[in-house]
Structure 1
Amino acid sequence: MSDQPVNLVSVNTAPERAKKVIGTVIENVKDKYTIVHAGNSATIDGVKPLLLSIQPPPGILFCASMWTPEEQAEIQQIARETIPGIRTHAIPTGLQVQVGPDGVIKYLMERIDDIMKV
């Protein structure tokens, strides 16, 4: 377990939902990881300025499921170009609609160990 908190940003057009879902995941893994939800961008254009505004730089970016696969790829590319070495994860398109917030939390909980690996 690292003592250094990892800043996580989300790209989600529903910031309150992002905060709730990610907050629940962070709470569930707090015994293993120190993750801080450092910000959310509701637009693709806002991703780079958000990433650059956070110190220390975010270590993880989550793309929400309302973006198309093409948009998710663009968001992740922006993140990697802005912060080399950032870990990115795209929640499958449409997952929120199919399974709701609890399903998204379950999905992320099943993958958080892989996402956190450096």
Structure 2
Amino acid sequence: MSSQSTPINLVSVNTVPERAKKVIGTVIENVKDKYDIVHAGNSTTIEGVKPLLESIQPPPKILFCASMWTPEQQEEIQKIARDTIPGIKTQATPTGLQAQGGPEGVIKYLMERIDDIMTEK
């Protein structure tokens, strides 16, 4: 099954949904010639991650964790994702990157990693 046949659902965990939509929307736009990715939802809380993942069909294949979470919170979010959807790919943006580099810094960080995320087994 090629990645082009079915859109890949991606979810984010970000306390500022508008920012998540903008940043992830830019990444998706930048890779649309290679990957068919849909930003299927965002959770603003750690508690909301599991219900969000369970509510999306087909299940998300990627979870992006924003930089406002501490490393411990990011690990918890990623564990919830892996426990809820075995095989989901997770990416945690380094804590504080948004504050240091702004949205452009986060977009650059994700763009440098998107191929690895998409081809990861």
Counterpart of 1:25 in structure 2 is 27
1:57 is matched with which residue?
Answer: 59
Q: 1:108 maps to which residue?
A: 110
Offset of 1:70 from its aligned partner?
A: 0.1
The 5 A counterparts of 1:31-70 are 31-70=33-72
Aligned length: 118
- Residue in 1 that maps onto 2:86: 84
Q: What is the alpha-carbon distance in structure 2 between the residues aligned to residue 48 and residue 68 of structure 1? A: 19
Structure 1 residue 55: Cα displacement:
0.1
Root mean square deviation of aligned Cα: 0.7
- What is the letter of the counterpart of residue 48 of structure 1? K
Local SS of the residue matching 1:45: coil
Deviates more, 1:79-88 or 1:1-10: 1-10
Match of 1:73 among 69, 72, 75: 75
> How far 1:22 sits from its partner (Å)?
0.1
TM-score normalised over the length of structure 2: 0.96
Q: CA deviation at 1:10?
A: 0.1
What's the secondary structure of 2:105's corresponding residue?
helix
Structure 1 alignment gaps of length 5 or more: none
Runs of 4+ in 1 over 3 A off after TM superposition: none
Structure 2 unmatched ranges of 5 or more: none
Distance 1:77 1:106 in 2: 25
What secondary structure is seen at the aligned counterpart in 2 of 1:84?
A: coil
Q: CA deviation at 1:4?
A: 1.5
Identity of aligned residues (%): 81
Deviation at 1:110, TM superposition (A): 0.6
